């Protein structure tokens, strides 16, 4: 326990919960952070950032007007980025870009999102991924020193998903050795880029490259958009804010258009393709889609981001549920803590388990990503399709599950969960956007499905397939999977479900084509099932990774940590087996009797986890400054904090508001 947590007076119920906890909390924190070293590093970074005191707002952020909120976010972004630049990156190096510690710490500064988020989140990674060494030497130090501030503008008003359909053009002029950027239509306006509206002075622009009269598809360019002294947009550049949104209101999402705006040839990011001085187009990359690299990187990092945000929401809802008492199920007995209701446990413990499942799967995906990058540096792109398929479905499922469970945590807090001061609505409004951005949920699952159908065709042709789909080979024998007990049985059954759904999709496509329609139409007619097959595949990947990894990670842990971690992982697997019982009955050898046993085991697990619930969320180790929640603070002073926050509202700055004299009084006196 950190010293700041020891000094405060803690709610009696929470104190009792902490006494009940039977495992070593710190060991679980190490597991969640990915190891002791990572925990120590994270704590050091949090200390540095939070000791600056810059994160404290006298008026809650959400009570400020739109402009004041943005102004405040820019002020804090400058302080935070100075800390990142001078201290955090010194500790982590550029590894920080793939590490949620930056975002986790930033949460202490911004209840919503920093307008600088995309600078380190996408601008810098794209420089690293898409620039030649020479270009990196020019741009990277300036970006890391915050001498320039960048955004990533790919999406347009008319197209986000369909990148090949982007309309912005970059036409090479060999006379002046410049590219001419142009936005030919309203729908070609760049739209949505974080940090673009008022903050960034540079921007990565994805545009259709034309040279020698030929279009070579979309390519990224580094584009200076504002004067470094005056911050005025350059002539030929039109830029602004896209308007008020559901969340992200301090993220400065912007629009951008060009009117025959010129940039030097060298501003094309040339790692994967070049345009020579005379306008000759030269392809360098060995894989067609390497220009989509930043998206793969961000999708990989989003899995852990989803886990962290869910862990925050679970911390708030579990602590609150230990403090909150409601109803009287037994006459004359005191009102129970709401966490004692099995229905409440059913809502919350899956959130704790899912946070672990996604964090562990996210770590594994990050390691896979780094392996593929290393292969690609050696010129081998063979594993890229599998990485794309994996990162697509894991991004889709992790963000979607996480958003749904964060909302469930909010429901679990009743009316008080609706308060912005609980922080649950803000966490939700952020995570629900991650389901859409960086590739929409359905679109990404269909990308995975495309890979799965191809893998299935290879299996049918007797060819070998890559590791994450090797289970298809077993399923091709068409034997029903034997139902074992719990974990192994559930994992094997999910694989059987995925395999059967994929094979059914392949057959359906063929059946449609026999009617004379083309492959694309047959594919469209099968997409509802393809999405479902990709979801099942992803579920089997998460279940297997979580189970294998938690067994490995707890091998040297103390007994009770092993037990509680295994309980959580089993709960996750059984929860999904019960959720997908229809699929299991249809595609595996599971019986109704087995399902009844799973249901009983599930309910036993809720009761077993119950005494450790507060310990489990304490192990996520969120400092109050990062959690920023009236309901979830470590001390459990829920009602006091709700009152304190209410009193900070500008609507409580006096007993009578001006509107009474202006409107209400005239109305009641019949003068309006």
Contacting positions for ligand FAD (CB under 6 A): 118, 152-155, 159-161, 192-194, 248, 253, 433, 436-440, 442-443, 446
**Which of 45/127 has CB closer to ligand FAD?**
127
Distance CA(320)–CA(315), nearest Å, equals 8
Q: Which entry of 17, 156, 386, 438 is annotated as an active-site residue?
A: 438
192 is written with which tokens?
A: 């949505």
**Per-residue b or e along 547-563, where b marks 16 or more CB atoms closer than 10 Å to that residue's CB:** bebbeebbeebeeebbb
442 contact, one of ligand FAD, ligand GRA, none, CB 5-8 Å limit per kind = ligand FAD
**Which of 409/455 has CB closer to ligand GRA?**
455
Query: Which backbone phi and psi does 381 adopt, to 5 degrees?
Result: -105, 15
576 contact, one of ligand FAD, ligand GRA, none, CB 5-8 Å limit per kind = none
60 contact, one of ligand FAD, ligand GRA, none, CB 5-8 Å limit per kind = none
Distance CA(100)–CA(271), nearest Å, equals 27
153 contact, one of ligand FAD, ligand GRA, none, CB 5-8 Å limit per kind = ligand FAD
Q: How far is the CB of 191 from ligand FAD (least distance, A)?
A: 7
359 contact, one of ligand GRA, ligand FAD, none, CB 5-8 Å limit per kind = none
8 A C-beta contact, residue 168 and residue 209: no
Distance CA(128)–CA(124), nearest Å, equals 6
Residue carrying structure tokens 């994270």: 42
194 annotated to bind ligand: yes
187 contact, one of ligand GRA, ligand FAD, none, CB 5-8 Å limit per kind = none
Q: How far is the CB of 625 from ligand FAD (least distance, A)?
A: 25
* Chain contacts with ligand GRA (rule: CB under 6 A): 117-118, 121-122, 152, 154-155, 160-164, 194, 289, 292, 295-296, 384-385, 388, 437-439, 443, 447, 450
**Which of 271/324 has CB closer to ligand GRA?**
271
Q: Which residue is nearest to ligand FAD (CB)?
A: 160
8 A C-beta contact, residue 209 and residue 217: yes
8 A C-beta contact, residue 341 and residue 606: no
Residues listed for the chain: 672
Distance CA(456)–CA(474), nearest Å, equals 11
230 annotated to bind ligand: no
Q: How far is the CB of 393 from ligand GRA (least distance, A)?
A: 12
8 A C-beta contact, residue 88 and residue 46: no
From the list 350, 366, 363, 365, the residue with the least C-alpha distance to 313 is 350
Active site residue 438: yes
**Which of 79/443 has CB closer to ligand GRA?**
443
CA dihedral sign, ordered 595, 601, 607, 613: negative
- In sequence order, the β-bridge partners of residue 283 are 273
**Which of 125/417 has CB closer to ligand GRA?**
125
For 342, counting Cβ atoms within 10 Å of its Cβ (0-12 exposed, 13-18 middle, 19+ buried), the class is exposed
Q: Where are the alpha helices (DSSP H) in 267-379?
A: 293-323, 342-377
What is the separation of C-alpha 344 from the centre of its chain, rounded to a whole number of angstroms?
Answer: 25
Q: How far is the CB of 66 from ligand GRA (least distance, A)?
A: 19
**Which of 158/611 has CB closer to ligand GRA?**
158
Q: Report, in angstroms and rounded to the nearest whole number, the Rg of the chain calculated over CA atoms.
A: 27
Q: Indicate the annotated binding residues for FAD.
A: 155, 194
Q: Indicate the annotated binding residues.
A: 155, 194
Catalytic residue IDs:
438
């Amino acid at each position: 326990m950190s010293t700041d947590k020891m000094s405060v007076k803690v709610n009696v119920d929470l104190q009792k919960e902490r006494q009940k906890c039977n495992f070593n909390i710190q060991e679980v924190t190490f597991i969640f952070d990915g190891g002791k070293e990572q925990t120590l590093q994270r704590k050091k970074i949090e200390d540095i950032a939070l000791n600056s005191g810059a994160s404290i707002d006298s008026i809650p952020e959400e009570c400020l007007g739109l402009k004041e909120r943005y102004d405040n976010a820019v002020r804090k972004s400058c302080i935070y980025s100075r800390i990142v630049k001078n201290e955090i990156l010194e500790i982590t190096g550029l590894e920080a870009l793939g590490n949620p510690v930056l975002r986790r710490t930033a949460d202490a500064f911004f209840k919503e999102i920093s307008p600088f988020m995309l600078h380190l989140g996408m601008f810098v990674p794209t420089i690293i991924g898409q620039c030649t060494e020479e270009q990196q030497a020019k741009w990277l130090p300036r970006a890391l020193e915050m001498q320039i501030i960048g955004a990533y503008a790919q999406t347009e008003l008319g197209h986000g998903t369909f990148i090949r359909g982007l309309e912005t053009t970059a036409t090479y002029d060999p006379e002046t050795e410049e590219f001419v950027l142009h936005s030919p239509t309203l729908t070609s306006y760049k739209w949505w880029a974080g940090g673009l509206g008022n903050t960034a002075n540079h921007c990565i622009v994805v545009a259709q490259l034309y040279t020698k009269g030929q279009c070579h598809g979309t390519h990224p360019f580094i584009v200076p958009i504002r004067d470094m002294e005056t911050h005025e947009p350059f002539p030929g550049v039109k830029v602004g804010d896209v308007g008020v949104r559901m969340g992200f209101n301090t993220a400065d999402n912007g629009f951008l258009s060009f009117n025959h705006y010129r940039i030097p040839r060298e501003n094309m990011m040339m790692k994967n393709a070049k345009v020579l001085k005379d306008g000759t187009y030269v392809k360098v990359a060995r894989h067609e889609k390497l220009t989509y690299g930043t998206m793969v990187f961000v999708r990989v990092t989003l899995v852990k981001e989803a886990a962290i945000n869910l862990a925050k929401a679970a911390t708030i809802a579990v602590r609150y549920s230990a403090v909150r008492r409601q109803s009287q199920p037994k006459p004359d007995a005191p009102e129970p803590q709401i966490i004692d209701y099995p229905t409440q446990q059913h809502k919350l413990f899956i959130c704790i388990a899912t946070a672990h499942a996604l964090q562990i799967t996210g770590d594994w995906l990050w390691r896979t990503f780094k392996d593929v990058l290393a292969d690609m540096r050696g010129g081998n792109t063979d594993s890229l399709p599998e990485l794309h398929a994996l990162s697509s479905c894991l991004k889709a499922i992790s963000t979607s599950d996480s958003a749904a469970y964060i909302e469930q945590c909010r429901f679990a807090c009743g009316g008080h969960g609706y308060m912005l001061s609980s922080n649950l609505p803000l966490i939700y409004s952020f995570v629900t956007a991650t389901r859409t951005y960086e590739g929409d949920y359905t679109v990404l699952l269909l990308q995975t499905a495309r890979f799965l159908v191809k893998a299935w065709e290879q299996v049918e042709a007797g060819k070998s397939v890559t590791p994450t789909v090797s289970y298809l080979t077993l399923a091709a024998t068409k034997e029903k999977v034997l139902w074992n007990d719990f974990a192994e049985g559930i994992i094997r059954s999910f694989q059987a479900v995925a395999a059967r759904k994929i094979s059914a999709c392949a057959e359906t496509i063929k059946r449609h084509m026999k009617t004379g329609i083309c492959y694309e139409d047959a594919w469209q007619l099968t997409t509802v099932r393809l999405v479902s097959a990709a979801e099942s595949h992803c579920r089997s990947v998460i279940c297997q990774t979580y189970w294998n990894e938690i067994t490995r990670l707890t091998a040297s842990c103390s007994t009770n940590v092993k037990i509680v971690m295994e309980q959580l992982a089993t709960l996750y697997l059984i929860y999904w087996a019960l959720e997908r019982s229809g699929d299991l009955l249809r595609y595996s050898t599971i019986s109704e009797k087995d399902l009844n046993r799973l249901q009983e085991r599930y309910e036993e697990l809720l009761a077993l986890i119950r005494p450790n619930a507060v310990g489990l969320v304490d192990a996520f180790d969120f400092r109050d400054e990062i959690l920023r929640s009236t309901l979830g603070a470590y001390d459990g002073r829920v009602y006091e904090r709700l009152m304190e926050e209410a009193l900070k509202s500008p609507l409580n700055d006096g007993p009578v508001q001006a509107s009474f004299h202006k409107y209400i009084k005239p109305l009641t006196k019949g003068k309006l």
